[in-house]
Protein backbone atom coordinates (compact mmCIF):
# COMPACT_ATOMS: atom_id res chain seq x y z
CA UNK A 1 0.00 0.00 0.00
CA UNK A 2 1.21 3.47 -0.91
CA UNK A 3 0.14 6.75 0.70
CA UNK A 4 -0.44 8.19 -2.79
CA UNK A 5 -3.08 5.60 -3.65
CA UNK A 6 -6.50 6.87 -2.68
CA UNK A 7 -8.44 4.39 -0.60
CA UNK A 8 -11.78 5.65 -1.69
CA UNK A 9 -13.53 6.08 -5.05
CA UNK A 10 -13.02 9.74 -5.80
CA UNK A 11 -15.54 11.40 -8.08
CA UNK A 12 -12.73 13.34 -9.77
CA UNK A 13 -10.92 10.11 -10.67
CA UNK A 14 -14.13 8.60 -12.02
CA UNK A 15 -14.75 11.59 -14.30
CA UNK A 16 -11.14 11.69 -15.47
CA UNK A 17 -11.28 8.03 -16.41
CA UNK A 18 -14.62 8.44 -18.17
CA UNK A 19 -13.65 11.51 -20.22
CA UNK A 20 -9.88 11.00 -20.48
CA UNK A 21 -9.16 14.50 -19.17
CA UNK A 22 -9.22 16.47 -15.96
CA UNK A 23 -12.77 17.65 -15.26
CA UNK A 24 -12.87 21.05 -13.61
CA UNK A 25 -15.92 21.83 -11.53
CA UNK A 26 -16.98 25.46 -11.75
CA UNK A 27 -19.10 26.73 -8.87
CA UNK A 28 -21.80 29.20 -9.81
CA UNK A 29 -24.27 31.45 -8.04
CA UNK A 30 -27.35 31.71 -10.25
CA UNK A 31 -29.14 34.15 -7.93
CA UNK A 32 -31.68 31.76 -6.47
CA UNK A 33 -33.04 31.89 -2.96
CA UNK A 34 -34.33 28.98 -0.88
CA UNK A 35 -37.83 27.86 0.21
CA UNK A 36 -36.37 27.28 3.64
CA UNK A 37 -35.41 30.95 3.88
CA UNK A 38 -38.17 32.88 2.14
CA UNK A 39 -41.04 31.36 4.12
CA UNK A 40 -42.56 29.10 1.49
CA UNK A 41 -41.28 26.17 3.55
CA UNK A 42 -39.81 27.92 6.59
CA UNK A 43 -38.04 31.11 7.57
CA UNK A 44 -34.43 31.64 8.46
CA UNK A 45 -32.89 28.67 6.71
CA UNK A 46 -30.74 25.87 8.08
CA UNK A 47 -28.96 27.10 11.19
CA UNK A 48 -25.52 26.63 9.63
CA UNK A 49 -26.32 28.25 6.27
CA UNK A 50 -24.04 31.16 5.42
CA UNK A 51 -25.30 34.42 3.95
CA UNK A 52 -24.05 33.07 0.63
CA UNK A 53 -26.51 30.17 0.75
CA UNK A 54 -23.81 27.59 1.45
CA UNK A 55 -22.16 28.58 -1.79
CA UNK A 56 -19.17 30.34 -0.33
CA UNK A 57 -16.94 29.57 -3.27
CA UNK A 58 -19.55 30.14 -5.96
CA UNK A 59 -19.36 33.15 -8.25
CA UNK A 60 -20.73 36.65 -7.68
CA UNK A 61 -24.46 36.72 -8.55
CA UNK A 62 -24.22 40.24 -9.99
CA UNK A 63 -22.15 38.70 -12.80
CA UNK A 64 -24.10 36.74 -15.39
CA UNK A 65 -23.50 33.00 -15.45
CA UNK A 66 -21.26 33.00 -18.52
CA UNK A 67 -19.05 35.67 -16.94
CA UNK A 68 -18.87 33.71 -13.69
CA UNK A 69 -18.05 30.58 -15.67
CA UNK A 70 -15.35 32.27 -17.75
CA UNK A 71 -13.73 33.93 -14.73
CA UNK A 72 -13.22 30.60 -12.97
CA UNK A 73 -12.31 28.83 -16.21
CA UNK A 74 -9.55 31.37 -16.86
CA UNK A 75 -8.11 30.92 -13.37
CA UNK A 76 -8.28 27.14 -13.58
CA UNK A 77 -6.83 26.87 -17.05
CA UNK A 78 -3.51 28.16 -15.67
CA UNK A 79 -3.37 25.10 -13.45
CA UNK A 80 -4.98 22.53 -15.76
CA UNK A 81 -4.55 23.02 -19.47
CA UNK A 82 -6.96 21.20 -21.82
CA UNK A 83 -9.44 20.34 -19.09
CA UNK A 84 -13.16 19.84 -19.52
CA UNK A 85 -15.76 21.58 -17.38
CA UNK A 86 -18.67 20.70 -15.14
CA UNK A 87 -20.67 23.79 -14.09
CA UNK A 88 -21.89 23.41 -10.54
CA UNK A 89 -24.99 25.35 -9.50
CA UNK A 90 -24.02 25.59 -5.87
CA UNK A 91 -25.42 28.55 -3.95
CA UNK A 92 -28.91 28.30 -2.37
CA UNK A 93 -31.57 26.01 -3.93
CA UNK A 94 -30.87 25.63 -7.61
CA UNK A 95 -34.21 24.13 -8.62
CA UNK A 96 -36.33 26.79 -6.94
CA UNK A 97 -37.97 28.48 -9.94
CA UNK A 98 -40.37 27.61 -12.77
CA UNK A 99 -38.89 25.32 -15.41
CA UNK A 100 -38.51 28.01 -18.10
CA UNK A 101 -36.39 30.12 -15.72
CA UNK A 102 -34.32 27.10 -14.68
CA UNK A 103 -33.74 26.02 -18.28
CA UNK A 104 -32.48 29.48 -19.20
CA UNK A 105 -29.99 29.44 -16.35
CA UNK A 106 -28.77 25.88 -16.88
CA UNK A 107 -28.54 26.22 -20.65
CA UNK A 108 -26.53 29.45 -20.37
CA UNK A 109 -23.54 27.26 -19.49
CA UNK A 110 -24.55 23.72 -20.45
CA UNK A 111 -23.76 24.11 -24.15
CA UNK A 112 -20.55 26.13 -23.87
CA UNK A 113 -17.41 24.59 -25.37
CA UNK A 114 -15.85 21.74 -23.42
CA UNK A 115 -18.71 21.52 -20.92
CA UNK A 116 -19.59 17.89 -20.18
CA UNK A 117 -22.83 18.46 -18.32
CA UNK A 118 -24.28 20.04 -15.23
CA UNK A 119 -24.26 19.54 -11.48
CA UNK A 120 -27.16 20.99 -9.48
CA UNK A 121 -27.33 21.35 -5.69
CA UNK A 122 -30.81 21.40 -4.22
CA UNK A 123 -33.26 20.25 -1.57
CA UNK A 124 -35.22 16.98 -1.86
CA UNK A 125 -38.54 18.86 -1.44
CA UNK A 126 -37.90 21.13 -4.40
CA UNK A 127 -38.10 18.80 -7.40
CA UNK A 128 -41.08 19.46 -9.66
CA UNK A 129 -42.07 16.69 -12.09
CA UNK A 130 -41.44 18.80 -15.21
CA UNK A 131 -37.92 19.60 -13.99
CA UNK A 132 -37.16 15.93 -13.34
CA UNK A 133 -38.40 15.07 -16.85
CA UNK A 134 -36.21 17.79 -18.34
CA UNK A 135 -33.13 16.60 -16.44
CA UNK A 136 -33.81 13.03 -17.53
CA UNK A 137 -33.95 14.22 -21.15
CA UNK A 138 -30.64 16.13 -21.04
CA UNK A 139 -28.97 13.28 -19.14
CA UNK A 140 -29.25 11.21 -22.33
CA UNK A 141 -26.49 13.31 -23.90
CA UNK A 142 -24.84 15.14 -21.01
CA UNK A 143 -23.42 14.30 -17.59
CA UNK A 144 -26.19 15.25 -15.14
CA UNK A 145 -25.87 15.17 -11.36
CA UNK A 146 -28.27 16.36 -8.69
CA UNK A 147 -26.85 16.96 -5.22
CA UNK A 148 -29.44 16.43 -2.51
CA UNK A 149 -28.97 17.76 0.99
CA UNK A 150 -29.96 15.26 3.64
CA UNK A 151 -27.43 15.97 6.41
CA UNK A 152 -28.88 13.46 8.90
CA UNK A 153 -31.46 10.66 8.81
CA UNK A 154 -32.76 11.80 12.22
CA UNK A 155 -35.89 13.93 12.12
CA UNK A 156 -35.12 15.36 15.57
CA UNK A 157 -31.81 16.63 14.18
CA UNK A 158 -33.60 18.02 11.11
CA UNK A 159 -35.81 20.01 13.51
CA UNK A 160 -32.83 21.30 15.53
CA UNK A 161 -31.04 22.50 12.40
CA UNK A 162 -34.28 23.91 10.92
CA UNK A 163 -33.85 21.81 7.83
CA UNK A 164 -37.50 22.20 6.84
CA UNK A 165 -37.93 18.63 5.62
CA UNK A 166 -37.77 15.19 7.16
CA UNK A 167 -36.15 11.93 6.12
CA UNK A 168 -39.29 10.72 4.40
CA UNK A 169 -39.38 13.79 2.16
CA UNK A 170 -35.76 13.11 1.30
CA UNK A 171 -36.68 9.58 0.23
CA UNK A 172 -39.51 10.87 -1.96
CA UNK A 173 -37.14 13.32 -3.71
CA UNK A 174 -34.47 10.67 -4.16
CA UNK A 175 -36.94 8.15 -5.60
CA UNK A 176 -38.28 10.73 -8.02
CA UNK A 177 -34.82 11.29 -9.47
CA UNK A 178 -33.84 7.64 -9.50
CA UNK A 179 -37.09 6.64 -11.21
CA UNK A 180 -35.73 8.67 -14.16
CA UNK A 181 -32.20 7.35 -13.74
CA UNK A 182 -30.70 10.71 -12.77
CA UNK A 183 -27.41 10.52 -10.83
CA UNK A 184 -27.75 11.59 -7.22
CA UNK A 185 -25.06 12.75 -4.82
CA UNK A 186 -26.23 12.91 -1.20
CA UNK A 187 -24.81 15.37 1.34
CA UNK A 188 -24.42 14.40 4.97
CA UNK A 189 -22.88 16.42 7.81
CA UNK A 190 -20.85 15.04 10.69
CA UNK A 191 -20.89 16.91 13.99
CA UNK A 192 -24.44 18.29 14.03
CA UNK A 193 -25.74 19.45 17.45
CA UNK A 194 -26.96 16.65 19.74
CA UNK A 195 -25.71 13.93 17.41
CA UNK A 196 -23.61 11.10 18.79
CA UNK A 197 -20.96 9.25 16.83
CA UNK A 198 -23.37 6.33 16.57
CA UNK A 199 -26.01 8.55 14.97
CA UNK A 200 -23.50 9.82 12.41
CA UNK A 201 -22.52 6.24 11.57
CA UNK A 202 -26.20 5.31 11.27
CA UNK A 203 -26.81 8.14 8.80
CA UNK A 204 -23.98 6.82 6.63
CA UNK A 205 -25.17 3.23 6.93
CA UNK A 206 -28.73 4.13 5.99
CA UNK A 207 -27.63 6.21 3.02
CA UNK A 208 -25.43 3.31 1.95
CA UNK A 209 -28.54 1.14 1.57
CA UNK A 210 -30.17 3.61 -0.81
CA UNK A 211 -29.92 3.90 -4.59
CA UNK A 212 -27.38 6.73 -4.66
CA UNK A 213 -24.39 7.23 -6.92
CA UNK A 214 -22.21 9.59 -4.88
CA UNK A 215 -21.82 11.13 -1.47
CA UNK A 216 -20.39 14.29 0.05
CA UNK A 217 -19.37 13.92 3.67
CA UNK A 218 -19.14 17.31 5.35
CA UNK A 219 -17.75 18.46 8.64
CA UNK A 220 -20.07 20.88 10.44
CA UNK A 221 -18.60 24.36 10.18
CA UNK A 222 -19.68 27.17 12.47
CA UNK A 223 -19.82 30.26 10.28
CA UNK A 224 -20.13 33.92 11.27
CA UNK A 225 -23.58 35.46 11.58
CA UNK A 226 -25.49 32.19 11.64
CA UNK A 227 -27.86 30.86 14.34
CA UNK A 228 -25.32 28.08 14.78
CA UNK A 229 -22.72 30.65 15.83
CA UNK A 230 -25.03 31.79 18.67
CA UNK A 231 -25.58 28.22 19.81
CA UNK A 232 -21.86 27.56 19.69
CA UNK A 233 -20.99 30.70 21.64
CA UNK A 234 -23.58 29.79 24.29
CA UNK A 235 -21.87 26.41 24.65
CA UNK A 236 -24.87 24.42 23.43
CA UNK A 237 -22.70 22.01 21.46
CA UNK A 238 -19.07 21.29 20.75
CA UNK A 239 -17.39 21.07 17.35
CA UNK A 240 -15.55 17.89 16.46
CA UNK A 241 -11.86 17.37 17.22
CA UNK A 242 -9.64 16.68 14.24
CA UNK A 243 -8.67 13.07 14.98
CA UNK A 244 -12.23 12.18 16.02
CA UNK A 245 -13.35 13.41 12.63
CA UNK A 246 -10.59 11.53 10.79
CA UNK A 247 -11.47 8.28 12.58
CA UNK A 248 -15.17 8.74 11.98
CA UNK A 249 -14.77 9.42 8.25
CA UNK A 250 -12.53 6.38 7.82
CA UNK A 251 -15.05 4.26 9.76
CA UNK A 252 -17.80 5.59 7.47
CA UNK A 253 -15.87 4.95 4.27
CA UNK A 254 -14.97 1.43 5.37
CA UNK A 255 -18.66 0.52 5.38
CA UNK A 256 -19.58 2.50 2.26
CA UNK A 257 -20.23 0.43 -0.87
CA UNK A 258 -17.16 0.79 -3.13
CA UNK A 259 -19.23 1.78 -6.17
CA UNK A 260 -20.54 4.91 -4.44
CA UNK A 261 -18.37 7.81 -5.60
CA UNK A 262 -16.98 10.11 -2.97
CA UNK A 263 -17.19 13.76 -3.90
CA UNK A 264 -15.93 15.11 -0.58
CA UNK A 265 -14.71 13.93 2.79
CA UNK A 266 -14.85 17.38 4.37
CA UNK A 267 -16.29 20.80 3.62
CA UNK A 268 -14.71 24.15 2.86
CA UNK A 269 -15.29 26.90 5.38
CA UNK A 270 -14.20 30.28 4.05
CA UNK A 271 -11.24 31.66 6.04
CA UNK A 272 -13.05 34.93 6.75
CA UNK A 273 -16.33 33.34 7.81
CA UNK A 274 -15.19 30.32 9.77
CA UNK A 275 -15.55 30.47 13.56
CA UNK A 276 -14.86 26.80 14.32
CA UNK A 277 -13.28 24.31 14.05
CA UNK A 278 -10.24 26.26 12.90
CA UNK A 279 -8.19 23.12 12.32
CA UNK A 280 -10.40 22.46 9.30
CA UNK A 281 -8.76 25.37 7.46
CA UNK A 282 -5.78 23.10 6.88
CA UNK A 283 -7.72 20.97 4.47
CA UNK A 284 -4.75 19.20 2.90
CA UNK A 285 -3.50 18.15 6.32
CA UNK A 286 -6.92 16.69 7.04
CA UNK A 287 -7.05 14.83 3.73
CA UNK A 288 -3.56 13.48 4.41
CA UNK A 289 -4.59 12.33 7.89
CA UNK A 290 -7.50 10.41 6.36
CA UNK A 291 -5.10 8.74 3.89
CA UNK A 292 -2.66 7.90 6.70
CA UNK A 293 -5.43 6.43 8.82
CA UNK A 294 -6.39 4.09 5.98
CA UNK A 295 -2.72 3.17 5.61
CA UNK A 296 -2.38 2.45 9.34
CA UNK A 297 -5.50 0.27 9.30
CA UNK A 298 -4.65 -1.35 5.93
CA UNK A 299 -8.26 -0.87 4.82
CA UNK A 300 -10.16 1.04 2.13
CA UNK A 301 -13.68 2.11 1.12
CA UNK A 302 -16.03 -0.85 1.37
CA UNK A 303 -13.56 -2.96 3.35
CA UNK A 304 -16.34 -4.12 5.71
CA UNK A 305 -19.14 -4.36 3.15
Q: Give the interface with ligand SF4 as residue ranges (CB under 6 A).
A: 34, 36-37, 45-46, 49, 53-54, 92-93, 123, 149
User: Minimum CB separation from ligand SF4 for residue 93, in Å?
Assistant: 5
- What's the distance, Cα to Cα, between the start and end of the chain in Å? 20
Nearer to ligand SF4, 220 or 253 (CB): 220
Nearer to ligand SF4, 73 or 105 (CB): 105
Cα–Cα distance for residue pair 49/164, rounded to 1 Å: 13
Nearer to ligand SF4, 55 or 302 (CB): 55
User: Minimum CB separation from ligand SF4 for residue 303, in Å?
Assistant: 32
Nearer to ligand SF4, 44 or 258 (CB): 44
Contact of 276 with 226, CB cutoff 8 Å: no
Q: Which of 111, 193, 103 is nearest to 156 (CA)?
A: 193
Contact of 122 with 96, CB cutoff 8 Å: yes
User: Minimum CB separation from ligand SF4 for residue 101, in Å?
Assistant: 17
User: Minimum CB separation from ligand SF4 for residue 44, in Å?
Assistant: 8
Cα–Cα distance for residue pair 246/251, rounded to 1 Å: 9
Nearer to ligand SF4, 14 or 237 (CB): 237
User: Minimum CB separation from ligand SF4 for residue 153, in Å?
Assistant: 17
Query: What crossing angle do the helices spanning 99-110 and 65-79 adopt, rounded to 10°?
Result: 30
Q: For the purposes of burial, counting CB atoms within 10 Å of the CB of 211, is it exposed (0-12), middle (13-18) or buried (19 or more)?
A: exposed
User: Minimum CB separation from ligand SF4 for residue 84, in Å?
Assistant: 27
Nearer to ligand SF4, 186 or 290 (CB): 186
Nearer to ligand SF4, 31 or 83 (CB): 31
Dihedral of CA 10/122/200/196: which sign?
positive
User: Minimum CB separation from ligand SF4 for residue 54, in Å?
Assistant: 4
| Neighbouring-strand partners of residue 262 | 10, 215
Cα–Cα distance for residue pair 117/77, rounded to 1 Å: 18
Percentages helix, strand, coil for the chain (3-state, rounded to 5) are: 40, 20, 45
Amino acid sequence: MNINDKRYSRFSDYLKKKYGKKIIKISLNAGFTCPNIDGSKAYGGCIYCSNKGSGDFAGVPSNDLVTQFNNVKERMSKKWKNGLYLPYFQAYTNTYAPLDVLKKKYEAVLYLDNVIGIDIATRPDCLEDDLVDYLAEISKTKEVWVELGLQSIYDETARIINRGHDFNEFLIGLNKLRAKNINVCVHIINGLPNETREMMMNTLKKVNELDIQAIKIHLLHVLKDTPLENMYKKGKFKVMEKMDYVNLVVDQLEVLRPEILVQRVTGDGGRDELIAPLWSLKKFELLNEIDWEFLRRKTKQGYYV
